[in-house]
Structure formats: C-alpha cells, structure tokens
Amino acid sequence: MASISSGFETSGDWQTKVANKRAKCLAAIPKAWLLPQSLSDTVPEQSEISKVKLDLTALELPRRSGILTDKELDITESYTVSALLENLASGKLTSFEVTLAFSKRAAIAQQVTNCLTETFFEEAQQRARYLDYLREKGELAGPLHGLPISLKDTYQVEGTEATIGAVAYIGRTSTENSALVNTLLGLGAVLYVKTNLSQVLMSADSDNNIFGRVLNPLNTMLTAGGSSGGDGALIAFRGSPLSVATDIAGSIRIPSLCCGTYGFKPSAGRVPYGKQVMPLNPGITVLLPSAGPIANDINALQIFMKTVIDAAPYRNDSTVFNLPWRNVGGSLGPKLRLALLAEDPLFPYHPPVKESLDEAVRRLQQHGHEVVFLDAAECHVAAATQVAMGLLSLDSTPMEIIASGGEPAVPSVKNLGRQSQEIDWNFVPITKDMDGLKKLGVLQNKRAELAEAWRKLWVKYEVDAVIGPTAQSTAVEHDCFSLPAYSTFLNVLNYPVCVIPFGKASSELEFAPKRGQGTCAYKRDVVEGAPCSIQVFTGGMRDEECLAIAGVVDQCLKKRVELKL
C-alpha cells in the first residue's frame, strides 16, 4: 500500500535523515486511524500504484474502513464551507466533531496519496474543545470559528517543521507562525495538517525525497500537480474543507486542474505572505508569489478572501496592501462581456482542453453572455512565459538548497530546465555574455512591455474578464507535465485568477506536439476521465470582480441550455 514509510532504502546520511523523518510522521497518525490490513492489501505500493489507473475515491476507503462514523462521513462529504460555518456558529455541529472527522479522513488520504507532511491532530482537537467551550458561553472566536483548515508545507506553524521537501531543512523547527497562520487563528480556524509539495517548489509535479510523490486520488497514474499537489489531492479526497496554498507560476491552479477542484490565485499583496519558508533569495524575488485557497466549492474561495482581508492583515504583515475587500456584486451587469484567450502556437492544446473550452464558450453564449475571440499575437503567452523562466533562472537558491542536503534532484525538477531549453523562444534577446544584472534589466523591460500590451488590450476590448485554459493539457503522467505557460504568464502580469473545474477528458482525436513546442505527448487512454478546467482572470487588484465573475461563469457552466428548434 502507498504510504509515507514505503519503498525507501536507509543507506547513506541523507537517506537516514529521510527514513527517520518518515517514521516520525507515520507515528503521528493514531493507530486507530490506520487502514485495516484487508483494505491496505487492495492498494498497491507506491512504486506500482503510480503505474496503474486507479480511482482511489471510487474505492470508498473512508466508508469501508470503519474509521469514520456515519455522521463523520456526512460532515466530510455533504457540507460546503458556508454550511459548515453556519452549523458551527449555531452549535448544530461542534468544532471537535468537525475537526475529528476531517482529521480522520486526512489520515486516510495520507496513507494512500502521500498528501501530507506535518500532522498535529492532538493539538487541533485541544483547540477545537476550547472553541466549543467558547461557543457554549455564547461566544465565537471569529467568522471562521471552528473550521478545520489545512496548510501547504511552506507555512510555519510554531513547534512543527517546514521542510518544503528539502532534506537540508529536516530538523528545523519553527519558532513562530507565518503571518497568515496568525490571521487564521485569530479568525477562529483550527489548523491540523500541512500538505506535501514539489521539491523546493520547483516543478508542477509534487514529488520530493522526504515524503515521496503525491498521488492523484482520481487517477493514480496521473500527477496531482504542483507545487501544491498535496492541497489538491487532500481536497479532492475530501480530507479538508479548505486548504491554503501558494502560487508563483501556477502552484494553486495546476493542482486544482489536476485534482478537479476550485482554486484562486489572488493578486500578490492581497493575502498575507510573510514568514513563509521559501526557496528563494529574498533580495532577488523577481516574481511575486501569492497565497490563496483551494476548495471543493467556489463560494469557499470568496469566504476565505473576504474574511482574511476584512481582518486587516496589513496591520501585522508588511507584505499586504491596505486594500479593504470591496462588495462588487451589484456592479456587474446582467450579461458579461468576456474575452477568450487564444491558443499560443508554442503551447498547443491537447484535444480535451480545446473541446472543454469550446463547450464553455457555447454555454456562456447560450446564457446570453458575449465572448470576444482574441488573437494569439496580442495575448503574448509564450513571451510572458519566457520572461518568467528567465527571471526565475536568475536565482540559484533552490538548487543550492537541494545540493546542501546531499540529496539528488527529483526527475521533475531535472526536467524543468531541459523543457525550457527545447522550446523555440524568440521574445527575450538574452546573450551568453550578459551578466546577471544585465539579464535582469532586459527581462524587466520585457515584462513592462507585456504589462503595457495587456493594458491596451483591456482598453481596446472593454471586457469584464478573460477566460482560457489552466494548462495546455489535463493532468498527465508523473514527471511529464509541460512548462505551465497558461498559468505562469498571469504571474508575470500579477493578475488574479480563478480555476473552475469543467468537464472530463474524453476525445477521439489524436495529437502530437511538433519539435520546439512546449506541450507533452497526449496519451488518450491514460488521461481519459481526467478533470478539465478553465481559468477566469481580470486585471491586477480586481480580485473582487474576478471572483464575482467566476461565480457567474461557474453557474453558466453547470447549466446546459437546451435550444428550442
């Protein structure tokens, strides 16, 4: 069975550190929450499970294991975040029983998908009991009173580790909380687990030498995405109602695509980012990372954003702008004017992506919304991706961290540089004789050109938002995800983006990328049934409009209009 302790040799110094860390993590799961042998034997070891097409959610392991009661199954499967908060506030549900339910389910998810790093179940239960005590006295700790929330491993929680998948960081215990952690605790949330991720956040495949590979619970042959793959897998397995991740090139949106969840990348500076463990030189942070939510319903994204920003986090974290949350619901017209992002020739769509976009456009038009079709030349997707790759390559810190731990880079990290070198870039005039400072100047100038080009585009078309694909593919086989052009270019522009799951991969068409294109091979039988999604984005700092418009789009996509003949 796939688990945090399987398939690892303990020879050598770094291997010994990893083996000890894995054993410690396994011991933190209560024995009563371990899957019985009869069920464990139905799930192959991780080295084998990643080679077979297995839908873990269809196995109903939480129900068949007997670990969760019927009420706990109902809590984890039947409630939206809004409904949970309403029932927690009214006392119909206690924080202790909700926390216990999601803790049990997260523990099961970990045993079959490797989606977790740190767990602090006992501390979470103690906090839940305290919150229930407050509720009995007629008090609420805040608008997130009693809600369990999971965190990406980059967030510091005092007394736990934040290794970010780097052997060099094993044993470094956090002595303080990240700024967002303090904000969430102040709002009444319960924190109970941290989630697995890419090795030092450096690929779209969540795999590292410490905790192993995150498996996609919908199809174990496919990647869960990265770098926040543990968040996506945990949410898809319903082991968390809401998870907080990070995004510097698509790390919220790619796992949302791969695992069939909703996700939101805010504009950088809207959500607290301070005191996270990041594999970057803080003096040359060239792309601003964002913190944002992943959930199973779109309203949860709005609840998270509004609640966090209403808490005035700028008072405690200098990474946040003093920008109150705006109510924009009434400012949207009855019909939206949307633009469709064009397919970039360097990053062609796999057939399911193209077909899901075509169907999304049809449904939006059937509901009376206008769709403007953009041209690839004015979207600059490849150009922005080349700028992003150039900027990120200026910082050698991630590879230095890996090397300092004595560990090797995992395959997906090794593939990143190779993929970039194989693409026929033509936008940034970088020469070999340029030093780092000259390269930075060229790249920043090109980024400014792109920002100006998109400013003109917004003015020219006067659209409310733009829709497009989250990536050029669905989830693909492990270590095969292409450079995430359709997510990365929006980090260059620092635009807010919402991912909406829509459709499943099902196509009779064939596809093969040409030499010089940044798209992996399309294996129709392997990806059959994989989630598809679309992105909705607006201009910078229009996070409120982005989520409001995404809500309208989501409703349209859920309702097929039958045309009368």
> What are the residue numbers of the active site?
152, 227, 251
Whether residue 558 contacts residue 298, with contact meaning beta carbons closer than 8 Å, is answered with: no
The span from the CA of 475 to the CA of 260, in Å, is 10
Supply φ then ψ for residue 560, to 5 degrees: -80, 130
Q: Please name the amino acid found at residue 168.
A: A
- 88 by DSSP, 3-state: which? helix
Whether residue 505 contacts residue 493, with contact meaning beta carbons closer than 8 Å, is answered with: no
**If residue 371 lies in a helix (H) or strand (E), which one and from where to where?**
strand 370-373
Nearest to 422 by CA among 520, 331, 542, 355: 520
Whether residue 533 contacts residue 284, with contact meaning beta carbons closer than 8 Å, is answered with: no
Side-chain-side CA neighbours of residue 551 (13 Å): 15
Supply φ then ψ for residue 287, to 5 degrees: -115, 125
Give the dihedral sign, CA 50/53/54/57: positive
Q: Is 250 among the annotated ligand-binding positions? A: yes
DSSP state, 375? -
Give the dihedral sign, CA 178/182/187/188: positive
Distance of CA 425 to the CA centre of its chain: 27
Whether residue 157 contacts residue 65, with contact meaning beta carbons closer than 8 Å, is answered with: no
Whether residue 559 contacts residue 531, with contact meaning beta carbons closer than 8 Å, is answered with: no
DSSP state, 372? E
The span from the CA of 5 to the CA of 63, in Å, is 24
Supply φ then ψ for residue 304, to 5 degrees: -60, -50
Beta strand extents in 273-333 (DSSP E only): 290-295
The span from the CA of 185 to the CA of 189, in Å, is 5
Q: Is 201 among the annotated ligand-binding positions? A: yes
DSSP state, 315? G
Q: Please name the amino acid found at residue 355.
A: E
Supply φ then ψ for residue 395, to 5 degrees: -105, 115
Q: Is 227 among the annotated ligand-binding positions? A: yes
- What does the block give as tokens for 297? 């319903």
Question: In DSSP terms, which residues pair with 209 in a beta bridge?
Answer: none
Whether residue 392 contacts residue 286, with contact meaning beta carbons closer than 8 Å, is answered with: yes
Q: Please name the amino acid found at residue 496.
A: P
Give the Cα-Cα-Cα angle 155, 106, 72 (nearest 5 degrees).
130
Give the Cα-Cα-Cα angle 258, 260, 264 (nearest 5 degrees).
90
Q: What is the dihedral of CA 170, 171, 176, 180, to 10 degrees?
A: 20
The span from the CA of 208 to the CA of 95, in Å, is 33
Q: Which residue has the tokens 């997130």?
A: 144
Pairing of strands 262-265, 290-295: antiparallel
- What does the block give as tokens for 145? 């009173």
The binding site consists of 201, 227, 248-251
Binding site, annotated residues for substrate: 201, 227, 248-251
